[in-house]
Amino acid sequence: MTPLPPEDGHLRAPLDPGDGHLRGGDDPWALLRNATRARVALGRAGDGLPTARELEFRAAHAAARDAVHTALDADLVRAALTAAGVGLEVLEVHSQAPDRTTYLQRPDLGRRLAEGTELPAGSHDLALVLADGLSPRAVHEHAAGTVAALLERLPGWSVAPIVLAHQARVALGDPVGEALGAGIAVVLVGERPGLSSADSLGLYLTSGPRPGRADSERNCISNVRPPHGLGYAQAADTLVALLQASRRLGASGVVLKDEGTALPPA
């Protein structure tokens, strides 16, 4: 569908050259909807939404709820890492939240390691924590690809065993990174689902991880979920630039800026 010239700033559907009316079945808002994942120009049927749009909304809401309540499948993530060529050892930890209901009601417990957790101490440049967060689905679908793209770009870096974290919030990466002896921790976490993005992965970088770090001491790359969000290569490029700068500065958070381009080349 080709819009008419926007003389008044509004997009229009093509008109039938015979009678000058909209062609049967043409949707004048289709062009705008196709340019965004946002819910725009849904139309109306009487006083309400068209039935098709109402059903789409309900399906998206159900997908978001499912993403929150789906359990992290460690075997699935391990298999995806292996298939992506990631050969690092994989460890598992749990937070102090004993189940999903408690995790959702007590965010503080998701930031603490379960009592008795032991991790191998070492001296590493980087620790990677794959945390289920509010969308284990995002970890299932995008963690392996992101990790593989990242490791390809970090030759010479000492990377600790990968840690899979159940019922985990971002700050759980602080005690994990400290226990592993990592200079920097990156937490790949399932983000809070939206009605158009139930599988969005966030990457949080913290220099000198240890319990008590503030959110202002972290850097975040959000919405990793190709093809509708950031691709793995673009996210890894940005993260590597931040990691290298963080190592030079010995810090992260508000003192560390992303100097890369805002958008990928067209």
Q: Read off the tokens for 92.
A: 């598992």
Extended strands (E) in the chain:
90-94, 124-131, 162-166, 182-190, 201-207, 218-224
Task: Please report the pLDDT score of residue 68 as a whole number.
Answer: 93
Residue 68 annotated as binding site? no
Give CA torsion, residues 63, 64, 68, 71, to 10 deg: 20
Looking at the domain covering 74-249, what would its CATH class be? alpha beta
**Domain ranges across the chain:** 74-249
Task: Read off the tokens for 147.
Answer: 């990790």
Q: Tell me whether the omega of the peptide bond preceding residue 226 falls within 30 degrees of 0, making it cis.
A: no
Contacts of 236 (CB under 8 A, 6+ apart): 146, 149, 150, 152, 153
Consult the annotation and say whether 220 binds a ligand: yes
Q: For 166-211, how does the pLDDT look when each residue is reduced to its tens digit (9 = 90+)?
A: 999 999 999 999 999 999 999 999 999 988 889 999 999 999 999 9
- Does the global pTM surpass 0.75? yes
| Average pLDDT of span 109-136 | 97
Task: Identify the residue with better confidence: 26 or 49.
Answer: 49
**pLDDT tens for residues 232-249?**
999 999 999 999 999 999
Contacts of 103-106 spanning 24+ positions with Cβ under 8 A = 103/167, 104/68
